[in-house]
Amino acid sequence: YGYRDGYWFLIGGIVVALAIGGILWQKRRGRRSILAWFLLVMGLVAGLGGGGVPLWDHHRLVEHLRAGRCLVVEGEVGSHSVERVKSKNVRSGGYNTSTWEAFYVADVAFGFYRGRTPVGFLNGGKTPIDLHDGMRIRIHYFEDVPGQFDHRRIVRLEIARGGQA
């Protein structure tokens, strides 16, 4: 799950292209368009935030995996839990619901919100993997913040068929 799941990040590029076109069109007419400049800046911000940063993050994690800088843990899943978390939506006055998933492999803890950013395995999508206690897996992961289980980014997850992972 990551930046390739949708093309929504292209919106920033479309806004930038329209803004540049508007600036050039206004320049030919001898005018300055504040709106076009505003759209240009906002499009660049949207493009970098919506596409540039996740793309950079994806390549950074792939490089860690290829260079062998990821940590590896292998064993049985333990203390697996899935919890639905409600949070107040200030704008609508309603509630947003997220799914928090946590588990251990050997003595290493993992926790994440399903399907949310950042790039990495987040067990999202239409059919999440049914992780359960006793399942043998091997996880390649990278710690964004050393020692914090919710900052361990799963880069590769291998599930055993029968015996060992």
Q: Which residues contact 95 (CB under 8 A, 6 or more apart)?
A: 86, 87, 88, 89
Query: Which residue would you say has higher pLDDT here, 164 or 143?
Result: 143
Name which of 27-41, 76-90, 135-149 the model is least confident about.
27-41
The 10s digit of each residue's pLDDT in 19-59 is 788 778 777 888 777 777 787 777 777 766 666 777 777 78
d(CA 41, CA 37): 6
pLDDT at 63: 82
Residue type, 123: N
Dist. CA 43–CA 9, nearest whole Å: 10
Q: Tell me the CA distances in angstroms from 18 to 8, 10, 42, 50, one per residue in order.
A: 16, 12, 12, 17
Determine the Cα–Cα distance for residues 37 and 16; give it in Å rounded to an integer: 9
Asked if pLDDT for residue 74 goes beyond 80, the answer is yes
Q: Is 77 helix (H, G, I), strand (E, B) or coil?
A: strand
Is residue 117 scored above 70 in pLDDT? Answer: no
Give the per-residue pLDDT at 28: 81
pLDDT value at residue 82? 92
Mean pLDDT, all residues of the chain:
79
Edge to edge, what strands does the sheet with 152-159 contain? 108-113, 95-105, 71-88, 136-143, 152-159
Q: Report the pLDDT value the prediction gives residue 50, as an integer from 0 to 100.
A: 65
Predicted pLDDT at 73: 95
Q: Supply the pLDDT for residue 118.
A: 63
Tokens of 52: 């540039």
Beta strands in the chain (DSSP E): 71-88, 95-105, 108-113, 136-143, 152-159
pLDDT category at 120 given cuts 50, 70, 90 is: low
